[in-house]
Chains A and B, each alone.
Chain A
Amino acid sequence: MIVLNEITKTYPTLNGVNVVLKGISAVFPERKNVGIIGRNGAGKSTLMRLISGSEQPDSGTIFRRGRVSWPVGFSGGFSGSLTGAQNARFVARIYGMDIDAVAAFANAFSELGEYFYMPVKTYSSGMRARLAFALSMAIDFDVYLVDEITAVGDSRFQKKCRAAFDDRRDRSTLIIVSHDMTTISNYCDTCAWLRNGQLHFYDTIEEAKAAYECYGP
């Protein structure tokens, strides 16, 4: 379970302070997959980094119960000069997991082939996302924070991701951000819309969809 209490986040820019999140309060219950929708630049990725704890809010508190993943997405999480295998070993070490088991799982799941043994900076963004996704699956998290990447890869890989999440539906919770309603309706039970620095919750995906599409994508 994750509870956000009056979270505010600003970033300094050349044109003054940019207020991204304006006092967000929310409860993400266990075993209920939540999708967060919003347009580009609405602050979705920022929210994910705050929930994971890799960045700190300006004010407000975040309560986490269970093991929360890092924001699994296209950017971050890797050192580009190391190979996929070496990055996998690093992640296994910082989460106190069996190194060889994690590396083997990530290799098999990511289907990167020989690229698994090449520096991550040679990867396309899709390949990076596949590695990130495979690594997060190798570690048993109670809450998965997923940033856009479920739409990655070919339909076969998407099916695999879907199956992996279905498989752990009874023990893991998924919080997913996307600008694409289809992704969210595929994975989530409820939906929230991040708009103007505020999080608006909807009881059903349909309601959220109607509101979001009415507003104009």
Chain B
Amino acid sequence: MNANIENSIEAKVEEVHLSFRESLVVLAVVSIVCLASNWAGTGINPIKALPAMLIIYGMIFVGLLLTKYVRIGFPAVAWVSLISVLLTIPVSPVSAAILSELKNLNFLSIVTPVLAYAAMAITKMEVDLFKRSGFKIAVISILVFTGTYVGSALVANALL
């Protein structure tokens, strides 16, 4: 295939990795964005939702620390998820307190900005790839997504 695509794929793979400090700074900005989105979506003002956001920030902070120092191939998402699950299981002493604060943060409202960033991040290479072999790949992709989703749902449905 075209050498152009190949080069740009390589460029794409060489992604920018944020350092620990940079991650924390970005996280602070993203938290502000989330508070604004949450405000627009739920009417809960940022001051009321701030404790919830700080709890989230704390969980992620610990998650990023663990990702940095405990190198067992666990990605940050897995650490963060593990921490928040463990803190809120029924036997956890802080579970009730965390849950009552986090009610102020709507789960869909904090995804809205993520998709906005995702759309901004689409690169020239991705647009080109789409234009060039868009149709075939689009059809195959839809089949892949549908097959995976329906396959999993069928198995789960049969075993529930």
Answer yes or no: are A and B bound together in one complex. Answer: no
